Structure 1
Amino acid sequence: MPTCQVCGRELAPAARGRPPSYCSRACRARAYRERVSAKQEQAAAPVEAAVPGLSVERVVRAAIELVDREGTSGLSMRHTAAELGVGVMSLYRYVPGKEELGRLMIDAVFGDHPLPEPGPPCWRAKLELSARQEWQIYLDHPWVPQLFALTTRPPIAPRMMVYTDWRIRAVDDLGLDFPTMVRIAIMVGNHAQSSAYALAREQFAKHTREEWLGARDAQIRQALAVGTMPMIARFGVDAFEASQPESVFEFGLRCLLDGVDKMIVGSRSR
């Protein structure tokens, strides 16, 4: 489900054309103002003196701490500067803008969880290890999948890209062609990322998922009364647990690896 790039609210999929990016005109206007402000500040940045002790690493770590605490809605050059106690213009000597800051943040958190070399001996154990390690990144920093969604292209983050390279090597020499190995590596990452997307909403929600559903019991009953969702009407405790992000991640990972196993067996039998 797509979400607003400003407030994170879920968006209804577009019937046709480009997917929506904002939930309202207010959020669209806020995003525009932030882009204009960032360009203006960046243009003026060279006149600001360097700050002793400030570095790219300090800027990135401050931004990570900020977003761990406030979510992606709090990410901006101005808020990061305030976190460091410096003028916003000073930051542009180290990071050219918000998009580059996001790229460096993603690279940093993946760098905090390096994959072992050479890793387990079996391809399946390797892929499972890499998926669980990426999942741990998202548990530690639930905003990362949301930050991915704010970029127009995948970020050029070398320490994140190492994960893809590591996974491709995990299924090398198994009789698969290279494009298939690439698809497998990307699918593992995409599965972990998509399963984790809801984690940020849960982190900053004012109420637990159970409390949120309980407060909307009347609305749910009204929606089910139409009779067009017989399967949803069967939801109980077991189904509720099955829909939790970690349950979806575990189930999907097992199905994905089973599918790769069958693919490998099939390629060897030809």
Structure 2
Amino acid sequence: MADIQRLSGNRLRRDTDFFRKNKLVIMPLVFIAPAFAMFSLFVIYPIIQSIALSFTEWQGIGPKKWVGLDNYRLLFGDPVFWTSLVNNIYWLVLFLLAPVLGLFVALFLNQNVFGIRLVKSLFFFPFVVSQIVVGLIFAWFYDPAFGLLATMLEPLGIKIPAILANEDWATFGIIIAGLWPQTAYCMILYLTGLNSVNPEMVEAARLDGAKGWQLLVKIVLPQLRAATFIALVVTVIGALRSFDLVAVMTEGGPYNSSNVLAYYMYDNAIFRYRMGYASAIATILFLIMDVYIAWFLMRLLKNEKGAS
């Protein structure tokens, strides 16, 4: 009996010593485990399931039929897919105006004058409004008969076309609608960043003769590097996953001219019952975003190593 107790005591001491030596590794794993389990169940597993589904033909019910790479062959020969991809590139390029516009709005609002809080709240308003509401507002704004834009231009003798019904202009009309709330979000990031700008450095630069554009580029912008980085990351991801405004304003029309990858995926899955084909579109979009996320993580790690 004493030998058993001695062996148990030795094992307990070994376990305790092992925990003490490795607690800096074990405890983070213990805290991360529940979140990682949920992340695996609701994110990683559906991604793997979606990629696997892209190699099948399935209508949402019944058995799945293995087709291999057929969905991808059809996809790369689909003109609507290429139109959607090009539109996503338009979104990506033009959405990069949001950080620039957000910076200049933030610089304008970063003043201690009477009533500036009210003005800030007005500029903040688009960010808190749902994307659905933004889409409905701009659909009315572009209306050539009763919209605000037509009402303002009519006295000047300017007749605007039906922007959302025009194959050449629909995509750009939707992007402008998306820039409204995205600029407001970037403005908030820059306003937060401007609060951490060192006023002593600004005053010293002014004493040395720096002003205007030179002061902004040489002194202020380097201190807003973190805010700029986050604004670019959020803006690019928002451009790649654009869906809400397209669904509300044009549903991908006219003639699929304003389609984007996210909406084309949704259209094939929900309305055409082509789950495998929709999964192939989702996989391509996922790979595109993976490239950007990998670049983002590399930059983040590089910045952290530089800071340390």
- TM-score (normalised: structure 1): 0.30
**1 or 2, which has the higher helix percentage?**
2
Question: Of the two, which has the highest radius of gyration?
Answer: 2
Highest RCO, 1 vs 2 (Cα 8 Å, sep ≥ 6): 2
